[in-house]
Structure 1
């Protein structure tokens, strides 16, 4: 998954590993698409029309340009400027993906917005690309100069280019074209990330679960689609950037046809429109779209692949069932049920219209009240059934039945607790799990906020704190949904922690383990719902001892 996902299970990838995956994906992709990039730049810098009817046009088609470059400059010409291009790709990939992961996580922790929203991915993708651009723009200018020069070469080496450009044009030469670059890169990268996420969701909507055999193919196709859409929407700004980056470099462009000097972004746009017409804004679009499809597809493909290699998603198992594979493609083995019920649940996931979904809801709730391990992950199964029903029939019979049954158990919670402490703990675990998974418009369900709070308040009463099972349940659920609950109603969370602090100070009744757990959750919230390294070392070593 690209970007912070609070639902991601099992994968704990560090910032360094994110940067490494971004760097390697950029390196591999750059090596593969460099020939198209060379052709695209040559097209963008050509003043003459890209047409064979223009006798002064050096290039007029992708294949013709490829043949002519090969004939005149040899195969190595397709990798001109490859060293600065690789430095650009490695640095850009590392900074962009790391910034994007950090920004989406910041959004998740700082607001009630879902970190997976289209708008969040657009803004965070654009900002991360701007940060990366500022870091590597000098290398981009060098790469463009190398790709644009003909024979004989003006710059003999990377060092020669840096020294010559600095001496003849000053230090600001390395930031030529920065304004149009930032203007172009923000929407371009924003659309890349947001459309990539949207296309992945659309892919899962269109392709049936049994047809989703290869997640890597999905990443490649969705990345390619996102690249084509993004490039088409933002292409003119990319052309302006390239024209401005070769300003002061006209002598090396003479062999390719006419050259122009531009005073700035607006002057460049006016000259292109006046001399080349509106179609001039889209010169080189064909190789750019081909390059965008391949480069964006490969970048996301390699990034997700390297992330998976660096930090593979483990197979989780519970007593009753297993979740296997990538997020969004689950296979359930519900082994703790009898054969008839297993078949019922499997059918509900694959073909919800073929079964009684209210019965399915009751079966899941009944089993959750008896099996605490199942109750911890039943929300995933419920979410899968809801998604399948919505896709198949656009209805919500299962969700309605599930919420009705949860309400019945909620109203009888005191009787349940008196009758079975295990059943009560299982119920609290289950309703918190459902709250964690079930969303409306990417927001937690408001109808569950107060019931979940009420259950946690009950667990924080003195008579509950004297029982380690309830203390353990309270702390585990706050770890899971505390941050979301606080965003929905901070006042009630403050009141809950007053109870917890008072309970921690009770003179009698608390075991040493209960006191340790309560102290840990108090520090956990105080640290912004995060476990600091020092706290992790202290509390978990204490618990294990």
Structure 2
């Protein structure tokens, strides 16, 4: 946590804004991420434990209390702050040279910059963060949970599998995050340009930003949930069953059918729409605030 605070205090305003937005967002939306991950790990090949979203929530609270819905939060919280900072920071660095004299970025540019931002966050933060999160959540299903906390879990994973153990499913994560951010920034930029029309300086009300963000989030969910399912399986405690990302996808298709690639879509849709809406609104508002507090010449 100390390293995150140092990172935030020494970063430019736009990096700080992305980090702050990411930290707040994950605290609000994590239970939906927990349910989505549990449903994706609940394979048809084994007797399914959950009959649906409500049943997953009910059994989790029954067995572990409300705190059970936040199992694995620490791994995402530690990662979400630098993840969002890297995402928005990379997007700004890549997009600045591509903007015209008015500051407008065309849709092709937003797609490419979003792809670059997604790949950067996948390699630097998301893959190890998601691996730890999935293992934590999967571990809770065990009769004798092994991990006692974030740092204990990380130590155990590295001790058993080395640093490579925190990079399981890297290919799937690169595909997921790259397509995620490419779709989100493309849709967001498309809607923003449409809204502003011929007046690039026109202000966007936070509610408009939230609506556009939720739309961008929904587009990314329907566009890449199959990649998210494969990534989750590749990072679970049973990842050793799969030879590669492709083998994982083929086994899911063979054993569970094509519909299995959309497991967890509803809770993911709820979380992602809220996630992207909150992050874009917070990012824009925090940028305004920090630009006033930390003025640069």
Matches within 5 A, 1:300-319: 300-311=280-291
Matches within 5 A, 1:123-272: 123-136=112-125, 137-150=127-140, 151-203=143-195, 215-246=205-236, 249-250=237-238, 261-272=241-252
1:42 lines up with 2:38 in the alignment: yes
CA shift, 1:122, in A, is 0.8
CA shift, 1:56, in A, is 3.2
Unaligned runs of 5+ residues in structure 1 are 1-13, 50-54, 206-211, 251-258, 313-532, 537-545
CA shift, 1:260, in A, is 7.9
1:120 lines up with 2:112 in the alignment: no
1:97 lines up with 2:88 in the alignment: yes
Larger mean Cα displacement after TM superposition, 184-193 or 27-36: 184-193
**Aligned residues between the structures:** 278
Instruction: Answer whether contact 1:80 1:146 (CA < 8 A) is retained.
Output: yes
Structure having the higher helix fraction is 2
Larger radius of gyration: 1
Secondary structure at 2:78 match in 1: helix
CA shift, 1:134, in A, is 1.2
Provide the rounded CA distance (Å) in 1 between the counterparts of 2:55 and 2:196.
40
Instruction: Answer whether contact 1:122 1:187 (CA < 8 A) is retained.
Output: no
Q: Which residue of 1 aligns with 2:5?
A: none
Provide the rounded CA distance (Å) in 2 between the counterparts of 1:289 and 1:263.
29
Instruction: Answer whether contact 1:220 1:301 (CA < 8 A) is retained.
Output: yes
CA shift, 1:147, in A, is 2.1
1:64 lines up with 2:55 in the alignment: yes
Instruction: Answer whether contact 2:118 2:179 (CA < 8 A) is retained.
Output: no
Secondary structure at 1:149 match in 2: helix
| RMSD of equivalent CA atoms | 2.6
Unaligned runs of 5+ residues in structure 2 are 1-9
1:82 corresponds, among 61, 65, 73, to 73
Provide the rounded CA distance (Å) in 1 between the counterparts of 2:61 and 2:159.
33
1:298 lines up with 2:282 in the alignment: no
TM-score normalised by the chain length of structure 2: 0.86
Cα distance per residue 1:64-83 (max 9 Å; x no partner): 21111111111111111111
* Residues 204 and 59 (structure 1), Cα distance of their counterparts in 2 relative to 1, 3 Å cut: farther
CA shift, 1:197, in A, is 1.6
Provide the rounded CA distance (Å) in 1 between the counterparts of 2:194 and 2:207.
14
Instruction: Answer whether contact 1:104 1:115 (CA < 8 A) is retained.
Output: no
Q: Which residue of 2 aligns with 1:26?
A: 22
Cα distance per residue 1:3-24 (max 9 Å; x no partner): xxxxxxxxxxx96110110001
Provide the rounded CA distance (Å) in 2 between the counterparts of 1:91 and 1:68.
33
Provide the rounded CA distance (Å) in 1 between the counterparts of 2:67 and 2:124.
28
Provide the rounded CA distance (Å) in 1 between the counterparts of 2:169 and 2:51.
25
